[in-house]
Amino acid sequence: MAPKNLLPVSDALAKILAAASPIAEVETLPLRESFGRTLARDLVSTRTQPPFDVSAMDGYALRAADVATPEKRVLLSGESAAGRGFAGEVKPGECVRIFTGAPIPKGADAILIQEDATIEGAMIGAREPLRVGQHIRVAGVDFREGEVGLQAGVRMGPAELALAAAMNHPLVPVTRKPRVAILATGDELVMPGETPGPDQIVCSNPFAVASYVEGAGGEPIDLGIAGDEFAALERGIAEAREAKADILVTLGGASVGDHDLVQSALTKEGMELGFWRIAMRPGKPLIHGRLGEMHIMGLPGNPVSSIVCSLIFLIPLVRKLCGDLNAGANLTQPAILGADMKANDQRQDYLRATLSTDGEGRIVATPHALQDSSLLSIFSRSQALLIRPPHAPAAKAGEACRILRLSSGGF
């Protein structure tokens, strides 16, 4: 059970995704510009691939029965190359020199690869018998005209770009990028390059959050820093509305201190609160709601807390708005502990950890000794988050655990 008024992580993610629908706006982009974008509609093949039977290897196209024994020979009578096939027919007792990707000549039913061929002038033999169809790629073995090659919701990576090109699609329909406005809050913050006052620090969270948004397929919009006053927060909210943001992410001010005004300012502007506070560490004071059509996500101000919450909640929300059918999928994987762990309390822990491999090839996750949510230097030296469920019992090094690789965060 989660502590009173604290929502379990899985429930929080489910609520966030249930409140979101894919963006309806579609953009048609040249294939070269669609990397990282999400298909808005199914992509149907306009051709069959391969369009005809082709050779999978360099060698000789012939009839398998003609070289059934090592002493049998066939006469070399021509050549078939990719883009320049053999125009005639392979007759009994003949063969054609053929190269990978070349059309199979009429009459041939197998390919004798050149490594297995015996050559005596123009007479060709086989060291081993062939079976009919050997080393032949039949027409349509990859895909056929009219088939759905890529489904709506698929993200266009290198393999998807190659498949779309092979299906002869120079243009592809993709979902508009979700616009994500990012507003840092706090009188204590200044931007990098500025000189902090005696009680100030340099603002870092927007840069990490914007990178995660962009990596997940969104368009980050930097709204700068709002001080700890209602007027500044109201201006930031107004700017997000003017930018037609699909999501407004606030950084800091989400807790219950006298200077934590974000939730009050959002409520004053008409926010419908979904939930506030999650049974997790780091990242407990997270706000989720709606302000009209705009999703609201108020992340904690501690740098590590905002990064972890971006990984667990913001990236799946961006992917859901993109139309990704797998938004929110479990990306954790098994590992073993590299150190003893104490029993956990009622909150789900996300511990920064390094990864190594033991002698059996298993992934070993070793948490850093320091886990304070303000320590970015430790995050930069980590490869994964080690997940400790609520009420997890004490565990010894070598026992099973689950991790979330940091490289899986939308990139």
Q: Where are the beta strands (DSSP E) in 203-279?
A: 219-226, 247-251, 272-276
Residue at a domain's end among 294, 322, 350:
322
Question: What CATH number corresponds to the domain at position 105?
Answer: 2.170.190.11
Q: Structural domain of residue 356, as residue ranges? A: 333-408
pLDDT at 59: 98
Domain-embedded: residue 1: no
- Verify that 220 and 81 share a domain, yes or no: no
Q: Based on the domain organization, do 33 and 159 belong to the same domain?
A: yes
Q: Where are the alpha helices (DSSP H) in 310-361?
A: 315-322
Q: Which domain CATH number covers 34?
A: 3.90.105.10
Provide the percentage of residues in the chain whose pLDDT is more than 70: 97
Question: DSSP states of 368-390 as a string?
Answer: -S---TT-HHHHHT-SEEEEE-T
Same domain membership, residue 248 and residue 375 = no
The pair of three-digit structure tokens given for residue 75, joined into one six-digit string: 């006469």
Residue 328 is assigned to a structural domain of this protein: no
* pLDDT single digits (tens) 44-58: 999 999 999 999 999
Looking at the predicted structure, is the pLDDT value of residue 377 above 90? yes
- Encoding tokens for residue 40? 């808005």
Token pair 């929110």 in the structure block, residue:
328
pLDDT of residue 340: 97
Domain end, chosen from 137, 159, 185, is at 137
Locus of tokens 């298993």 = 362
Confidence band of 5 (pLDDT split at 50, 70, 90): confident
> Is 204 a member of any domain?
yes
Question: Beta strands 43-44 and 333-337: pairing type?
Answer: unpaired
pLDDT for 411 beyond 50: no
Name the CA radius of gyration of the chain, rounded: 30
Within this chain, do residues 203 and 306 fall inside the same structural domain, yes or no? yes
Peptide bond into 196 cis (omega under 30): no
| Residue 188 sits in the same domain as residue 270 | yes
Question: Buried (b) or exposed (e) across 11-35, using 16+ Cβ within 10 A?
Answer: ebbeebbeebebbeeeeeeeeeebe
Looking at the fold, whether 303 and 227 belong to one and the same domain comes out as yes
Residue 122 lies in a domain: yes
Could you read off the pLDDT of 146-172 as tens digits, one per residue? 999 999 999 999 999 999 999 999 999
The reply to whether 208 and 260 lie within a common domain is yes
Same domain, residue pair 160 and 239: no
**CA distances, 175 to each of 23, 42, 161, 221 (Å):** 7, 12, 16, 18
18 shares its domain with 42: no
Residue 313 is assigned to a structural domain of this protein: yes
Question: CATH number of the domain that 370 lies in?
Answer: 2.40.340.10
387-407 residue pLDDT tens: 999 999 999 999 999 999 997
Q: Which residues of 23-122 form beta strands (DSSP E)?
A: 26-30, 43-44, 54-55, 59-62, 74-80, 94-98, 110-113, 117-120
Separation of alpha carbons 340 and 398, rounded Å: 8
pLDDT at 257: 53
Is residue 264 one of the residues assigned to a domain?
A: yes
Identify whether 97 is part of a domain: yes
Bridge partner residues of 262 (DSSP): none
Residue 4: is its pLDDT beyond 90? no
Q: Is 159 left (phi over 0), alpha (psi -120 to 50) or beta?
A: alpha
Q: Is residue 327 part of a domain?
A: no
CATH number of residue 209's parent domain: 3.40.980.10
- Identify whether residues 77 and 90 lie together within a single domain: yes
Q: Residues 158, 188: one domain?
A: no
Same domain, 83 and 185: no
What is the pTM (predicted TM-score) of this model? Answer: 0.89
pLDDT reading at 409 higher than 70: no
Instruction: Give me the DSSP letters along 333-347.
Output: EEEEESS-BPPP-SS
Residue with tokens 């004490």: 394
Instruction: Please give the pLDDT value at position 408.
Output: 53
Number of domains comprising the chain: 4
Domain termination residue (choose one: 117, 137, 157): 137
pLDDT tens by residue, 191-207: 999 999 999 999 999 99
* β pairing state of 348-357 and 333-337: unpaired
Position 324 confidence tier, pLDDT thresholds 50, 70, 90: very high
